[in-house]
């Protein structure tokens, strides 16, 4: 079972951890999305994002991805949950 963790800091800052136990990959990521306006009229907007999901390698190399993201805004009433299912077919 291989695993890795990494930290990156670009326009977004955060960390991610991924563990592979074929045919499943488990992923957890925390990062920030910083939006800074060109003009200093409005304050900076910072959104924190926690993502976790499962990637499942299917027969033939296709990939099924199940993912949940929780976006934390400055106001808890504005928090957002995003759930996604994606399938990448390999031919």
- Is 33:47 a contact under the CB 8 Å cutoff? yes
pLDDT at 23: 87
Q: How far apart are CA 68 and CA 49, in angstroms?
A: 10
With a CB cutoff of 8 Å and minimum separation 6, the contacts of 1 are 19, 20, 21
Enclosing H/E stretch for 53? strand 45-57
pLDDT (tens digit per residue) in 28-44: 988 887 665 555 555 55
pLDDT at 1: 42
pLDDT (tens digit per residue) in 44-84: 567 888 999 999 998 888 999 999 999 888 777 888 999 99
pLDDT at 12: 56
Q: How far apart are CA 69 and CA 53, in angstroms?
A: 9
pLDDT (tens digit per residue) in 5-19: 444 444 557 788 888
**pTM check: above 0.75:** no
């Amino acid at each position: 079972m291989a695993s890795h963790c990494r930290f990156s800091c670009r326009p977004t800052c955060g960390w991610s951890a991924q563990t592979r136990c074929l045919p499943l990959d488990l992923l957890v990521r925390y990062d920030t999305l910083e939006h800074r306006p060109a003009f200093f009229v409005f304050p900076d907007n910072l959104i924190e994002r926690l993502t976790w999901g499962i990637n499942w390698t299917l027969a033939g190399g296709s990939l099924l991805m199940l993912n949940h993201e929780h976006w934390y805004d400055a106001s808890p009433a504005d928090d957002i949950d995003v759930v996604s299912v994606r399938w990448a077919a390999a031919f």
